[in-house]
Amino acid sequence: MKFDVSHPDIHEAVWRALEEDIGPGDITSQACVSPEQMAEGCFQAREELVVAGSELLPVIYQMRGGVDEVRLIATSGTRLLAGERVAVVRGKARTLLECERVALNFLQRLSGVATLARAFAKAVADTPCRVLDTRKTTPGLRRLEKMAAAAGGVVNHRMGLYDAVLIKNNHVAAAGGIRQALERARKTGLDVEIEVHSHAELEEALECGAKFILLDNFSPEEAAEHVRFINGRAKVELSGGITLENIRAYAATGADFISCGAITHSARAVDINFRLRLI
């Protein structure tokens, strides 16, 4: 998949990360390294992983200047084994040193998301069910983390509150009930999904014509029973307590989608290192 880094939000995130880390200057590199010294740096996987965010490297180095070449060996979505290279950069040693941590933070975090997403997608690969990501992302990094999730093979759910209608329990409470919430939401002209937490709520939602049901926090056995009751009258998404250990059981319920917040909120940063040599 294409990891598009052209959006202004992404450039702002990179700029903020560089400002946060470098500030008025990398005093260690300035003290130890000649400004004319040139070097080559290599980003390398130290464990099996799925790459995401390597396309950010040209953006990072362009913002700082002083780099002649950024060669991407592995683009987002590529599976690497320990020892395989992600990218090689050539330029001023000071620039490579001052950008090292920011580049690694993005690569390790986003590749961690992609690697976990690939594991979830693989767990349901031979079923009709598809895995969705959620809005449980690092503040300010949602666009990047969702692209990383997609690079790992899951389907992006809504980007934010502005691009899809999902009626949750607090919306129902604020609207005065399921029927009221659905009737008002339909006036948007958009597809409407509604979350339910009991069989009674499910029955009411279906009676009101709901075509997309989110079954939240049910066991696989309970979810399967509800999917049978729905019997094709609505698309079904499952959420709540989904793990790599149980997602297969949830996929076997016949649901169309399973959403999993852990893909972004609990992904472990993977091990990628950076080694520099003088040229």
* Annotation marks residue 136 as catalytic: yes
Catalytic residue flag (residue 275): no
Give dist(CA 92, CA 38) in Å, integer.
4
CA distance 49 to 74: 11
From the list 79, 90, 135, 168, the catalytic residue is 168
Tell me if residue 222 is catalytic: no
Q: Which residues pair with 216 in a beta bridge?
A: 239
Six token digits for residue 217: 């926090």
Please indicate whether residue 195 is annotated as part of the active site.
yes
Identified catalytic residue from 193, 195, 204, 237: 195
The two tokens of residue 148 are: 């990383």
Query: Which of the residues 136, 179, 184, 186 is marked catalytic?
Result: 136
Which residue among the candidates 79, 85, 90, 101 is catalytic per the annotation? 101
Task: Please list the active-site residues.
Answer: 101, 136, 168, 195, 216
